[in-house]
Structure 1
């Protein structure tokens, strides 16, 4: 019983970690796109 609980908690942490990683990646990508667009705007 305790092992199942431990595994489910570990699985939950894993899902949260993946979600956070994906969110950070998306935000970073957005920032990068914004930086690139502003850079091209400045260089024009």
Structure 2
């Protein structure tokens, strides 16, 4: 499970990877929300 170093280092690396994943995911969520909002507007115009 741990490549090298102590448990503390492994935990620190885990936290860093979680933070970077979160930073990467946030813009995707925002884009999805915007996409859904636009789709709803398009559907509203068609009705």
Q: Which is worse superposed, 24-33 or 3-12?
A: 3-12
Aligned Cα RMSD in Å?
1.7
Q: Which residue of 1 aligns with 2:35?
A: 31
Higher relative contact order (CA 8 A, sep 6+): 2
Task: Note the residue ranges of structure 1 that are not aligned, 5 or more in a row.
Answer: none
Number of aligned positions between the proteins: 43
Higher helix share: 1
Q: Which residue of 1 aligns with 2:19?
A: 15
Deviation at 1:7, TM superposition (A): 2.2
